[in-house]
Chains A and B, each alone.
Chain A
Amino acid sequence: MSDAHSNPPSSAALLSSKGEIKVWLTATGLSVGLFMVIGLLLLITWNGLSVFWPQPVSEFTLTSQKDGAPEKIAGIITKNQTRRSAATGQAIEEIQVFTGNRDAYGLAFRFLDQSSLASTSLPADYIVAERSEYGKAIFTPVRLEFSPTQSLLASDPTFFPELHRLVKEGNARRTEITTLEKHEIGAVNARIDKLEIRLRKADSTAEDRAPLEQELAQLRSEYATLATQAATLRDRQKVEKLVYRLASGEERNQAVAEIIHFYQPNQLTLGGRFKIFLHHAIAFLTEEPREANTEGGIFPAIFGTFVMTLLMAALVTPLGIIAAIYLHEYAKPGIMLQSIRICVNNLAGVPSIVFGVFGLGFFVYGVGGYIDHGPAYPLPERWWFLASLGAVISLVLALLLTLKYSPTQALQPKSKARSFAENSLWITTALLTLLTLAKCPYFHGFFSDKLPSPTFGTGGILWASITLSLMTLPVVIVATEEALSAVPRGVREAALACGASKWQMIQRIALPGALPGVMTGIILAMARGAGEVAPLMITGVVKLAPSLPLDGIAPFIHAERKFMHLGFHIFDLGFQSPDSEAAKPMVFATTLLLIFLVVVLNLTAIQIRSHLRRKLQASAF
């Protein structure tokens, strides 16, 4: 239909060339737009992927002298740029070099003027090693020290197999330590915490306390055993040492077990590079972050984003569909409905930060605070009793009015007065019930024993998900409604004519027909939710969450926990890390992942939608 008028223009249209230049001018708009989007995607893809690619290590010999010999620096070139000298205004060519070895140099990057370089070489024996502390190291190996007396020189042919074996052992031990400290000690700690709260609450009678204290003592000894076990393992990690030499000639040593991974970039074949690339990419996706998020992986952020988005989708789907069905199938058409529709539509354009503000004020402080410590301003007891009594009475009346029909009445439309009375009774019941719940003077919260540290009264994954689901609700409502109205009237009427009840028609005809449209809405909502950061910043995202929102400690789902998020990870790394230059590769890699996620979700939605449109166009004729 929409293509009907876009037939190729007849040659007559081109007879006159008036304004042809302006046509070309309009083409620039499209060109610039496409350049922008393609350029941006390419930029992110290139930068994001090159983070994982093993780059060669160059050794620079400088013209300056240090300790009588020319100064040498080894590192990976990260940038070529022109700088303007502050003194003379001359343009100076310089390179930025990633030197690593933050423990030795203090900084991981160095700028070198091209003119200060005497020579550059690519020695084959450089090793790039990722360590559990101080980031990457770039060095040439000297020897392995198994004990103060026993060592293995780097020139020995068994050196590298031995190094590989030790690194592997170290990694295995590190996993063991993590399991011990995070899971087993964590579980014991959680039990100790619970017991301590019970002890605090228990009255001071001795027979009450004795079993609790006994259990506590047992748990403490369990804790001590586990802690010594972990400490032994940690000490074991430090036994073998790798002695290495920096480009400057300085010799240092490093516990081999603290090396996570190493490679010799200047000896790699293309296949070898690919292998390292894959290894880096997988580590990035599956590992925990290290060194204030600038090293390691982003698994918790991926997991947090995933859980938050799923939770949001699970909340927004039923709500959005119910609201859309109401608007489209049940509400009486008229100006009122039209204006509600416009308002819902426009909510999609309200800035996300406004939803965040609402989420913080209402969910976190309001509902969360209520769950923690009960109502802030409870009703006086007498009034509360009156309110609850009122709620019960009005509920009974409403039920009586609604359910009590004489057989003949059931088919008649209700009289105006009666439906008004019914509606107002139901509304009264709802309001009074809300009031009695929200202002109950006998409820002092589920987590009052943990106060003043809040449990639900602070940002968390649950509140963030609810806030985002409210934000994306209009998207789902609009998409669902659109899809519902695209289900042809004829099919609906046929169903009704065959004797289907209204709900049967909706359930079996309208909703299945609208399913692709609903899916589109949900996917778009998920894409928007996954990429949104501003409302999360104030409702529960943190830069480093100590534990995941799902884990093995009862009750397994910790909806009150703070969580990590890909988008916030980008914000935090790029803007709040002490060394944003060092964090940049991580940010680009995270950005690539987030963009990939969002673009894939959106493309899916666009695909479904265009497929749906074509189907509808076909069915319309």
Chain B
Amino acid sequence: MLPMQSAESPDPLRDPAAPPRSPSPVPERFTVSKGVLRLDRFMTYVILVGGIGIIAAVFGIFVFIGSVIWPLFQSPTLTPLRELPLATSGTTLVGLDERSELPYSYDGSADLHFHSASSNLSQPLGLEPGTQITFWRQDRLNDRILLGTQDGRVGFVDISFTAKQSSPTAPRSVTGSLKLAPWLTLNNPAPVESLDYASQGERKLFGAIVNAPEGPKLLVVGQRQKKGLMGAGKLEATPPEDLTPLLAGARPIRVLLPGTADAIVVQTQTNELLYLFRAPSGWEVRQQIKPFADIDTDITVMDFLYGDVSLVLGDSKGNVRILSLNVPPGSDRRLFAETQRLKPLDTPIRHFVASRRNKSFVVAGDTQCALCYATTGTVRSILELPYTVRSLCLDAKAEHLGIVDSNGTLHLNTVHDPHPEAGWRTFFGKIWYEGYSEPKWEWQSTGGTDDFEPKLSLVPLIIGSIKGTLYAMLFAVPIALLAAIYTSQFLSASVKRIVKPAMEIMASLPSVVLGFLAALWLAPLIETKVPSILLLVLSIPLSAMIAGSIWIRVPLHQRNRLPRGAEFWLLAPLMAALGYLAWLSGPALESLLFVANLPDGSQIADFRLWWPQFTGLPYDQRNCLVVGFMMGFAVIPVIFTIAEDALSNVPPALTSAAEALGASRWQVVRTVVLPIASAGIFSALMIGLGRAVGETMIVVMATGNTPVVDAAGRLLFGDPGLGGGLFPLADHWNIFSGMRTLSANIAVELPEAAQGSTHYRTLFLGAFALFLMTFVLNTAAELLRQRLREKFKIV
């Protein structure tokens, strides 16, 4: 507390009922009333708590945004849920129902087993006696088991679950039931070795390998659903086709059908893949590829990922590679190409299961199990197991992972991986998305289909922000600095008092107004007037030069008659006149320089057509020129005000000294004022930069909002590429095209993002990046300014 209080009542809190004591050294009229002291103490607490609380709350913003983006970078957790002994030890296939309450297992016998927590229940598939199942596998999308028999028949059994719950609090009882589909014969009475099934609308197709006596055969058999009056009609089998000749003697060992039911992927014994496609003319080999050509190894696992566009391959050395269908440059067909290589596991890959909701999958070796995400090609989590894995399964929501060990015990684990697609690589690295012919930085957060991969690279948005800022600064910095120099050094004090607030008013113009004017007034206005703008830009310095050179020819005594800062009043009309002239003569320049060739051979003077022809870059109506100009309104006053302050605060002793030594007024500015104020000017530029980076509404309204990538990325990240046109690296720094910035992206997409989704958190990450960028810029500027201030103190 303050020392003065010792002069007051020595004990303000003394109990009034206490016995009287020796007379106080302070006379009664000098003692402070208790009310005052109590109020003082109360207010002290209020202000302490309030002040600290408010400041903590303000910094809480930082913490809160951080807490929202934190889960994006968390690795998944796998927690053991329960263990369940399965009835048979020979189990090779397990499946889970919706909530993993009733797992089922199948071992190739005539029965399927359901395992509830309390009992094991066998249910017959309904096979006719004597049928021997030689191949079985789980369908990728449904609770369905594909079956192949000893005598060359194929079919499947559907499993459905019904849950009963008598009251909301009572335990659920789940029962399963089976429905065997009619068998289809392959017309080759030999054991089925591999089988897959695909169904697309009314087209249904089985692909199978049978081990016929004359050698293994690749057979397909289709079904066509007749359209009846009463909805879906009867299924009608088409005769089986033998595709073995297409294999050219290679022995097929595994077959896969994508969901489109028009292609087959066959793995041969020589570890090659054959991609067979049903063209209108019949089946043909579209591609032959050896995925592990660089290492001598065997393919042990091959399956499609959700969406049936990517193949996951595992080998006996623990390698996992992903092949995706895309149209390579120079081709018109979709072919497989390796898009990802995962970090190898320590054990051979033996088991695989894919999620039915996104591109994550689980592979397992003997005692290792890895949760992976295909789009980013990352192993998200590795589980070291104390037992040997025999089989894997995931439920439909990919929330539970079941692992069967060699003793036939099912280990159920809860998988918690809400944001598998997130990570540093996603946000800042190039990613080879499905269907793309090369890795790309791309932002496309929402798509039309279920199996759409969100593309969440922040790079195009950051580039967009930098691009917008760059053009805004290019326009604003010269004007703001020149104006600041003139105002602080050459203008008379009385004019300055009007000019400064006028420029400050510019800072208060709401950005939504600037954006509206940019888009609906400026953009259409200058769309056809680019040559005029070019001339206008030239005319302004020209007018200054003309005026200046006339001025120095005026005799000195007449010059001195003019009051200080009058150049400005003389210059303004000249500039306006020259500017108007430049505006009018734009079309003349256009017809002189910017003549575009039309497809029909004629020529036309139009900059909008000339620009794409000359540079190979697009020309948009809402482009960076417009954004740069309008952002100028936001940035110029910020830079102007701070730079002007810095320039005005240069100690007069220094400028007077320079003048006394005979320097001209420009020499004073150049040699004394500018160097001393340079730190202040620099901090002004940084604060201006911060304002431009975060500007939202102008960009939302005045740009096309197309996320830009690539050439810009190449430039920044040093991957020399091949852009088009005359200037290969310039296609996305193009001043006449639009862009999407971080801030605009947030404003546009956040209202639609579901709370807690990866998209939502990624937008928060964008906000965090913006926050950090501007905060760092501003802090650096502030520190610079403080140093400057100290420097002046010494001077």
Cβ of B605: which chain A residues have Cβ within 8 Å of it? Answer: 89
Q: Tell me the complex Cα distance, A78–B170, Å.
A: 72
* B782 proximal to A (CB < 8 A): yes
Known contacts A12-B659, A330-B48; decide if A594 and B513 are in contact (CB<8 Å).
Answer: yes
Interface assignment of A14: CB less than 8 Å from any CB of chain B: yes
Chain A CB within 8 A of B13 CB: yes
Query: With an 8 A cutoff between CB atoms, is B81 at the interface?
Result: no
Tell me the minimal C-beta distance from A422 to chain B in angstroms: 11
Contact A353 B694 (CB under 8 A): yes
Q: Are B44 and A502 in contact (CB under 8 A)?
A: yes
Instruction: From A2, A5, A26, A527, give the contact of B490 (CB < 8 A).
Output: A26
Whether A331 is near chain B, meaning CB under 8 Å from some CB there, is yes
Q: Which of B306-314, B352-360, B474-482 contacts A (4 or more CB under 8 A)?
A: B474-482
What are the residues of chain A within 8 A of B541 when measuring CB–CB? 25, 28
B187: CB under 8 A from chain A?
Answer: no
Contact of A29 among B13, B482, B649 (CB under 8 A): B482
B483 within 8 A of A: yes
B770 touches A606 (CB 8 A): no
Instruction: Map CB proximity to A onto B57-81 as digits: 1 under 8 Å, 0 otherwise.
Output: 1110100110010000000000000
Residues of A within 8 A of B479 (CB): 29, 32-33
Contacting residue for B662 out of A16, A343, A497, CB 8 A = A16
Known interface pairs A33-B503, A325-B47; A534-B697 also in contact (CB < 8 Å): yes
Chain B residues with CB under 8 Å of A538's CB are: 746-747, 750-751
- Complex CA gap A23/B666 in Å reads 6
Contacts of A206 in B (CB 8 A): none
CA distance A488 to B203 in the complex (A): 89
Residue-wise interface mask of B (1-36) relative to A, using a CB-CB cutoff of 8 A (1 in contact, 0 not): 110111110111110000000000000001010001
Please report which residues of chain A, range 337-390, place their CB below 8 angstroms from some CB of chain B when the two chains form the complex.
340, 342-347, 349-358, 360-362, 365
Tell whether, in the assembled complex, residue B40 and residue A501 are in contact, meaning their CB atoms are under 8 Å apart: yes
Query: Which chain B residues lie closer than 8 Å to A468 at the CB level?
Result: none
Q: Which of A17, A325, A473, A497 contacts B552 (CB 8 A)?
A: A17
The docked-state distance in angstroms from the alpha carbon of A32 to that of B521 is: 19
CB pair A25 B506 closer than 8 Å: no
- Report B-chain residues with C-beta under 8 Å of the C-beta of A499: 4, 7-8, 30, 32
**How many angstroms between the C-alpha atoms of A493 and B540 in the bound complex?**
56
| A298–chain B nearest beta-carbon distance, Å | 14
- Contacts A349-B690, A473-B54 given: A534-B743 contact, CB under 8 Å? yes
**A410–B667 touching, CB < 8 Å:** no
Give, as a whole number of angstroms, the nearest-CB distance from B185 to chain A: 53
Is A227 on the interface with B (CB-CB < 8 A)? no
By the criterion CB–CB under 8 Å, are B50 and A29 in contact? no
State whether A413 and B1 are in contact (beta carbons under 8 Å apart), knowing that A28-B543, A358-B61 are contacts in the complex. Answer: yes
- With contacts A24-B567, A40-B509, A503-B43 known, is A29 near B483, CB below 8 A? yes
Residues in B neighbouring A17, C-beta threshold 8 A: 552, 664
Q: Which of A33, A325, A357 contacts B65 (CB 8 A)?
A: A357
B482 partner, pick from A8, A10, A14, A30, beta carbons under 8 A = A30
B575 to chain A: which residues have CB within 8 Å? 28, 31-32, 35
State whether A24 touches B551 (Cβ < 8 A): yes
Within the complex, the shortest CB–CB distance from B384 to chain A, in Å, comes to: 31
Tell me, rounded to whole Å, the shortest Cβ–Cβ distance linking A306 to chain B.
15
B443 within 8 Å of A by Cβ?
A: no
**Inter-subunit contact A411/B487 (CB<8 Å):** no
A20 at interface by CB-CB < 8 Å: yes
Which segment, of B98-106, B259-267, B399-407, B650-658, faces chain A?
A: B650-658
Minimum CB–CB distance from A402 to chain B (whole Å) comes to: 9
Q: Name the distance in Å between A600's Cβ and chain B's nearest Cβ.
A: 10
Secondary structure of the B side of the interface? helix
Check B663 against A16 for contact (C-beta < 8 Å).
yes
CB-CB nearest in chain B for A351: B694
- Count chain B residues whose beta carbon lies closer than 8 angstroms to a beta carbon of A: 145
Q: Is B39's beta carbon under 8 Å from chain A?
A: yes
B651 to chain A: closest residue by CB: A5
Residue A322 at the chain B interface, CB threshold 8 Å: yes
Taking a contact as CB atoms under 8 Å apart, the answer to whether A351 and B64 are in contact is no
Q: Judging by beta carbons under 8 Å apart, are A360 and B750 in contact?
A: yes
List the A side residues contacting B51 at CB < 8 Å. Answer: 322-323, 325-327, 330-331
Known: A32-B540, A595-B509. A351 touches B696 (CB 8 A): yes
Contact between A571 and B770 (Cβ–Cβ < 8 Å)?
Answer: no
Q: Contact string, A552-579, partner B, CB cutoff 8 A, digits 1/0?
A: 0000000000000001101100110000
Q: Is A181 at the interface (CB under 8 A from chain B)?
A: no
| Residue A9 CB within 8 A of the other chain | yes
Say if the beta carbon of A59 comes within 8 Å of chain B.
no
Asked if B696 and A352 sit within 8 Å, CB to CB, the answer is yes
Contacts of B489 in A (CB 8 A): 26
Is the C-beta of B648 less than 8 angstroms from some C-beta in chain A?
A: yes
Most chain A CB within a 10 A radius of its CB, from B482, B556, B604, B691: B482
The CA of A410 and the CA of B14, in the complex, are separated in Å by 10
A351 touches B509 (CB 8 A): no
Among B61, B560, B563, B571, chain A packs the most CB atoms within 10 A around the CB of B61
Residues on B with beta carbons closer than 8 Å to the beta carbon of A568: 512
| Whole-angstrom CA separation of A34 from B503 in the bound complex | 7
Whether A347 contacts B58 by the Cβ 8 Å rule is: yes
What is the 8 Å Cβ interface bit string for chain A, positions 493-518, against chain B (1 contact, 0 not)? 00011010111101100000000000
Q: How far is it, in angstroms, between the C-alpha of A19 and the C-alpha of B284 when the chains are bound?
A: 80
Alpha-carbon gap, A571 to B517, bound state (A): 11
Contacting pair A501 B512 (CB below 8 A): no
Q: Name which residue of chain A comes closest to B559, CB basis.
A: A14
Interface positions, chain B 414-472, Cβ under 8 Å from A, are: none
> Measured between C-beta atoms, what is the minimum distance from A85 to chain B in Å?
10
Closest chain B residue to A573 by CB distance?
B516
Known: A20-B666, A23-B665, A353-B770. A603 touches B505 (CB 8 A): yes
Contact of A532 with B by CB under 8 A: yes
Task: Give the distance in Å from the alpha carbon of A506 to the alpha carbon of B46 in the complex.
Answer: 14
Q: Is the CB of A353 within 8 A of B696?
A: yes
Bound form: Cα–Cα A127–B484 in Å: 54
Q: How far is the CA of A34 from the CA of B57 in the complex (A)?
A: 40
Bound-complex Cα distance A170 to B344 (A) = 81
Residues on the B chain within 8 Å of A4, using CB: 652
Q: Decide if B239 is an interface residue (CB 8 Å cutoff).
A: no
User: In whole angstroms, what is the CA distance A344 to B540 when docked?
Assistant: 40
Residue from B12, B648, B774 within 8 A of A2 (CB atoms): B648
**Residue B141 interfacial (CB < 8 Å):** no
Nearest A residue (CB) for B749: A538
Instruction: Give the residue name and chain of the B residue nearest to A595 (CB).
Output: B513
The answer to whether B696 touches A14, judged by C-beta atoms less than 8 angstroms apart, is no
Which of A3, A9, A362, A473 counts the most B-chain CB atoms under 10 A from its CB? A9
A2 and B640 alpha carbons, distance in the complex (Å): 17
Q: Which residues of A contact B652 (CB under 8 A)?
A: 4-6
For the complex, give the distance between the alpha carbons of A568 and B743 in Å: 17
Beta-carbon nearest neighbor of B557 in chain A: A11
Q: How far is the CA of A273 from the CA of B207 in the complex (A)?
A: 83
Q: Across the interface, do B556 and A342 meet the contact criterion of CB distance under 8 Å?
A: no
Residues in A whose Cβ lies below 8 Å from that of B30: 499
Given A22-B666, A344-B55: A330 in contact with B44 (beta carbons within 8 A): yes
- Residue of A340, A347, A504 ringed by the most chain B CB atoms within 10 A: A347
- Write out the residue numbers on chain B whose beta carbons fall within 8 Å of the beta carbon of A507: 43
Q: Among the interface residues A11, A37, A534, which one has the most CB atoms of the partner chain B within 10 A?
A: A534
Q: Are A351 and B545 in contact (CB under 8 A)?
A: no
Write the residues of chain A forming the contact surface with B, with a CB cutoff of 8 angstroms: 2-6, 8-38, 40-41, 43-44, 84, 89, 319, 322-323, 325-327, 329-331, 340, 342-347, 349-358, 360-362, 365, 405, 407-408, 410-411, 413, 470, 473-474, 496-497, 499, 501-504, 506-507, 527-528, 530-534, 537-538, 567-568, 570-571, 574-575, 580, 584, 587, 591, 594-595, 598-599, 601-603, 606, 610
Sampled A-B contacts (18; CB under 8 Å): A9-B659, A18-B666, A19-B669, A21-B548, A25-B545, A28-B544, A29-B481, A29-B486, A31-B575, A330-B51, A343-B775, A346-B775, A353-B696, A355-B61, A501-B5, A531-B509, A575-B701, A595-B509
**Top-3 shortest CB links A-B:** A326-B51, A351-B694, A5-B652
